[in-house]
Structures are given as structure tokens and as C-alpha cells.
Amino acid sequence: MDPHRTPDIRQIPLFRDLTPQEAARAQEIAIRRHFAKKSVVFREGDPKAAVFFIEEGIVKTSKTDEDGQERIVSLLQSGDMFPHTGFFNQTPYPATAVTLTDARLLAIPVRAFERLITAMPSIAAKVIDVMGAKIRELQQKLQDVTGHNVNGRIVSFLIGLADRHGEVRGSTVRIQLPITNQELASAIGTSRETVNRLLNTLKKQGIVEHNRSEMNILNLDGLKEWAARDFS
């Protein structure tokens, strides 16, 4: 990461179609911030001060349930915006955001972002699209929880990781995501032991390799076939 490079707001999808004048206006209120790996960007319940956009890196958002257990809400990557709610009210941050890698973020103070949305209908429309996509993602998660057994949910989550974060290298899909088995379990709503057992089974079948820094899906078609069998 180059800490001295001037941010280009139009590298963020939400701002990609702005005119040079509009981009300059948005860039004036954007503050670049750098976070080391495992840094807290904000905590659930903190007063909402800014909206963040990821220039580079991966950010995990999570909530704490009634038993004090972490439940991962989203794994966000370059170009993503967070949080996705509460732009025009005083509600606090709805989740905790932590960097899984070194990250470079653009922060726009929430009131300035509200004024930007009001002044630029094209941005408002894109914010609505982003929020709609988030609702669809949450609906899919709900469907996975209610319609699949636990192994099915795990495999579905792995396929989603491959689609969103994967890099195709020949016949392998590499997911460079430093996520532990406990974090996988938290994202799916199961135990680490269940995740361990399934990953070991998939490893023995030559479908998946996994360590603390990345996951390699060696046979994506095999994983999808395994998922179809398990979902039935």
C-alpha cells in the first residue's frame, strides 16, 4: 500500500459514474485512513461517525448474540461500503468492524455523506442498489439457515467465498482470506468442531485445502456436486 497516493474516489463503484466536478466534491470530504491487520474500525453500539469505503483490504463485520458469541454478518472487500443502514438517523453502528488484513479505507463523515446523497441523485440511486443487494444477501443467508442442514450451509458459504473472493488459478480457486475455522463457524452459525470435520472430509476427497491465510478449492465442480447432494 502506498500511504502517500492521492485517493481516487471513482475507484469506488458507488462513485464510478460521477462527473469530474462531482468526483472532486466527493473527494473533498473523503478522509483516507490506514488500519493494520486485526484493527477495530468501530464497535457495535458506538455513535455513528462515518461511512467507510474499502480501497484495499478485507473487513469483517460481526454482532454479539445474547450468549456473548460473535456472529459474522459480512466479509467485505475492495469497493464495498459499510455500514449499510442508518444514514438519516442517530442510530449507533449496528455491528463491529475489524480488518482481517492491512486495509486502506476512505471515511466520509456521516452528515457530509447525507448531504452528498441529497445533492447527487445518481449516488442516492446507487446507495439504494447497494442496500437492496445487502437485503438479498441476508435473505439468502436466512434461506440457507432454514432450508439446509449444517453441512449444506458450510458448503454453500464456501461456494459464496469462491464466487466473491476467489481468484482462479488454472483448475484451482484461491481464496486469500485469513479466516479461522472459528470465524467460519461464526459466519455460518455452527460449532468449530463441525467446520473442522467437514473441511477434513473435503480435504480427504481432494476438494478443498485450507490454512490460516488462505483456502484453495481444488475442485469447484466437485464442491458444487457435494453441495447438491447434501442439500437434498
Are 107 and 190 part of one and the same domain? no
Q: Are residues 125 and 202 in the same domain?
A: no
User: Are 26 and 115 in the same domain?
Assistant: yes
Q: Tens of pLDDT along 137-191?
A: 766 665 555 455 788 888 888 988 888 888 888 889 999 888 888 888 888 888 8
Cell of 87: 444514514
pLDDT of residue 104: 95
Domain assignment present for residue 2? The answer is: no
Query: Which structural domain, as residue segments, surrounds residue 113?
Result: 9-144
Q: Which of 122, 144, 166 is the last residue of a domain?
A: 144
Q: Are residues 129 and 181 in the same domain?
A: no
Residue with cell 441476508: 138
**Residue 132 maps to which CATH number?**
2.60.120.10
pLDDT for residue 85 is more than 80: no
Residue 213 in any domain: the answer is yes
Asked if residue 23 is part of any domain, the answer here is yes
Query: What is the DSSP secondary structure assignment for residue 44, as one 8-state letter?
Result: T
- Tell me whether residue 177 is in a domain: yes
Q: Which residues on adjacent β-strands are paired with residue 105?
A: 33, 54
**17 and 132 fall within a common domain:** yes
Q: Please give the Cα distance from 130 to 52 (Å, whole number).
A: 13
The Cα–Cα gap between 111 and 89 comes to: 10
Q: Specify if 50 maps to a domain.
A: yes
Pair 154, 100 in one domain? no
- Residue 185 within a domain: yes
State the total domains in the chain.
2
Last residue of a domain, one of 127, 144, 161: 144
Are 105 and 166 within one domain?
Answer: no
Q: Has residue 39 been placed in a domain?
A: yes
Residues 121 and 170 placed together within one structural domain of the fold:
no
Same domain, 220 and 191: yes
The string of pLDDT tens digits covering residues 64-75 is 888 788 888 889
Which domain-ending residue is among 144, 172, 200? 144
Nearest Cα neighbor of 59 from 112, 12, 95 is 95
pLDDT band at 122 (very low <50, low <70, confident <90, very high): confident
**Distance from C-alpha of 108 to C-alpha of 114, rounded to nearest angstrom:** 10
* Ordered alpha helix ranges (H), the chain: 20-28, 110-119, 121-147, 150-165, 181-188, 192-204, 220-231
Task: Examine residue 211 and state whether it is found in any structural domain, yes or no.
Answer: yes
pTM, two decimals, is 0.79
Q: 4-61 pLDDT, tens per residue?
A: 445 578 888 888 888 888 888 888 999 999 999 999 999 999 999 999 999 999 999 9
